[in-house]
Chain A
Amino acid sequence: MAGRTVTRADLCEAVYQKVGLSRTESASLVEMVLSEICNCLANGETVKLSSFGSFVVRDKGQRIGRNPKTGVEVPIEPRRVMVFKPSNVLRARINGQRSEGEE
Chain B
Amino acid sequence: MIKSELVMRIAEQNPHLYQRDVENIVNAILEEITRALARGDRVELRGFGAFSVKQRNARVGRNPRTGETVDVASKRIPVFKTGKEMRLRLNGGAASAKKAAVRVSA
Interface residues of B in 8-50 (CB under 8 A from A): 9-10, 13-14, 21-22, 24-26, 28-49
Chain B residue total in the interface (Cβ 8 A): 54
Measured CB to CB, the closest approach of chain B to A99, in angstroms, equals 5
B99 touches A6 (CB 8 A): no
Assuming the contacts A46-B1, A50-B3, asked whether A81 and B78 have C-beta atoms less than 8 A apart, the reply is: no
B residues lining the A interface (CB < 8 Å):
1-3, 6, 9-10, 13-14, 21-22, 24-26, 28-49, 51, 53, 75-80, 82, 86-87, 89-91, 95-96, 99-100, 103
Can you list 30 residue pairs at the A/B interface with Cβ under 8 Å? A2-B39, A2-B40, A2-B41, A3-B41, A4-B39, A4-B42, A5-B43, A7-B43, A11-B29, A15-B25, A17-B28, A19-B21, A30-B25, A32-B10, A32-B13, A32-B14, A33-B25, A33-B26, A33-B29, A38-B86, A52-B33, A79-B90, A80-B91, A81-B90, A83-B80, A84-B49, A84-B80, A91-B78, A94-B34, A94-B77
